[in-house]
Chain A
Amino acid sequence: MFDFASPLTIFYGILTGLVFGFLLQKGDVTRYNVIVGQFLLRDFTVLKVMLTAIVTGALGLLAMRSVGLDVPMHLKPAVLGPVAVGGVIFGVGMALLGYCPGTGVAALGDGSRHAIPGILGMVVGGAIFAEVFPAIQNGFMKAGDVTCNVAGAITDKITFADLLGVSPWLLAGILTVGALILFALLEGLGSKCAIKTSPDTPSGGRTTFASR
């Protein structure tokens, strides 16, 4: 039960944790105010970091797979009942703590003392779920399971490309363009423009975009 992975895997884990923690701190997302500021729609650092990472990662993953490299997918089952309800519960806890699990653990290295009870709470929350799981594993935990026929096999480990029957490149393209438009708006690139909503009158009638 309490075994170790191979030395190479452990080395890879150490390396990934170091780089990930380093980047999270440099990106300012190990700070309580930045995370809660995102939920209050005041500070968009979290969205900028996450969406850029998702777009970059998506394009790279698709590129590696399309040139035929052996890059397995790691999809989580689309059991939408527990995923959606779990997501809602998660959001409540995250807004209260002010960190997500990864940034909370990293915040420990960035001087946050209140991250310590937060992490202890996470361990306890995990333990509580383990005790609840046997009672719900065959009921609620299977609610809303969405399956697709992917390459001849029925599975719930699906992407939107499987669900919609379109190329993943198309979706990644839409995601990239959508992210770029959002970033442009966030950076206030449209703030000097205006839309004319009514004919010019002495009283005006021009609406300007407020970008922030």
Chain B
Amino acid sequence: MKLLKQPRWNPYAVGIGIGVLSWVTFGLMHQALGTSTTLPKVAGFINGLASSEHVQANAYYAKLFNADKGKVMFDWQFFLVIMLPVGAFIAAKLAGSKFSEKVPVLWSWRFGDSKLKRYALAFLGGAIMLFGARMADGCTSGHGLSGGLQLAVSSWTFFIAMFASGLITAFALFGKEGRQHV
């Protein structure tokens, strides 16, 4: 119980925990940890409410919603994704966290306190990121974690590309000086 109330765990211990979780998902559930497929599925679902013909005619949505191959809207990954904030919430509240963040410290140092500006660029960042994830067919969990641990050629290619690009972008945004504000 004391352990659960600690605000932070050792990062190596957390890594081992996620690694063991992957044994269970691979070995017992026959699934690979991943998150980013669910987001265009949600987009397709919302799109489908407006025009189901449009979604049915789209080749990408046809890949995502292929019931013959067991690819359905409300699948393993969908429930994983919606439970992620619940798991994080429980972890935070057990430690008594009252953390709330609208504009991160580093961001306001560089770009000011404007909530609107931060929210707009967070939206843009999310959109760019997911576009890339779907092009690459995976994200930090599907490629980085699950693909990485399978020693997949695709996933290590993704991992190196995204890390290099993230590093360059972060230095372009915040510069060397930004390091003092993390």
Instruction: Please list the residues of chain A having a beta carbon within 8 angstroms of any beta carbon in chain B.
Output: 1-5, 9-10, 12-14, 16-28, 30, 32-33, 36-37, 39-43, 45, 48-58, 60-61, 64, 69, 71-80, 82-98, 100-134, 137, 141, 146, 157-163, 168, 171-172, 175, 183
Please report the C-alpha to C-alpha distance between residue A43 and residue B178 in the assembled complex, in whole angstroms: 12
B163 contact set on A, CB distance < 8 A: 39, 91
B88 to chain A, nearest CB (A): 4
A136 to chain B, nearest CB (A): 8
Instruction: Please list the residues of chain B having a beta carbon within 8 angstroms of any beta carbon in chain A.
Output: 6, 8-9, 11-12, 14-33, 35-36, 39-48, 52, 55-56, 58-61, 65, 67, 70, 72-92, 97-107, 118-171, 173-174, 178-179, 182
Contacts A13-B76, A58-B149; is A33 near B106 (CB within 8 Å)? yes
In the complex, what residue of chain B is closest to A21 when comparing beta carbons? B87
Q: A1-B65, A159-B153 are in contact. List 16 more A-B contacts (CB 8 A).
A: A10-B79, A53-B19, A53-B145, A54-B148, A60-B19, A86-B132, A86-B161, A87-B132, A90-B162, A95-B169, A106-B85, A113-B100, A118-B125, A125-B133, A126-B134, A161-B151
Chain B binding surface SS class: helix
Please report the C-alpha to C-alpha distance between residue A95 and residue B171 in the assembled complex, in whole angstroms: 9
Write 10 A-B pairs (CB below 8 A) sorted by A numbering.
A2-B73, A53-B15, A61-B149, A78-B154, A101-B35, A121-B124, A121-B130, A124-B43, A162-B153, A163-B153
B36 to chain A, nearest CB (A): 4
B26–A5 touching, CB < 8 Å: no
Please report the C-alpha to C-alpha distance between residue A96 and residue B182 in the assembled complex, in whole angstroms: 15
